[in-house]
Amino acid sequence: MENTLLSIPEACEKLRIGKTRLYEILNAGQIKAVRMGKRTLIPVAAIDDFINGLEPFKTNKGYVLQTPVEVQNTITD
């Protein structure tokens, strides 16, 4: 069974980013988090929404290399 709430380190691992960048994203309101006592937890659905809202990477010639969903599928495979 997959966790529905991730700790900060788990969310960083899923997004493959550092804690500082994750806190920047949280403070900007791009990902919603919840507090349980002193712990900050992030719903998996909030991370999925964030990933799906990312712009596809484009080369300087305008070619799309991968969409966010393709990237997520690569990470989870």
28-40 per-position pLDDT tens digit:
999 999 999 999 9
Q: Which of 43, 55, 33 is nearest to 68 (CA)?
A: 55
42 neighbors 11 (Cβ within 8 angstroms): yes
Would you say residue 9 has pLDDT above 80?
yes
What's residue 73's pLDDT? 56
What's residue 49's pLDDT? 93
| Per-residue tokens: 51 | 């990933």
What's residue 45's pLDDT? 95
Would you say residue 75 has pLDDT above 80?
no
Would you say residue 66 has pLDDT above 70?
no
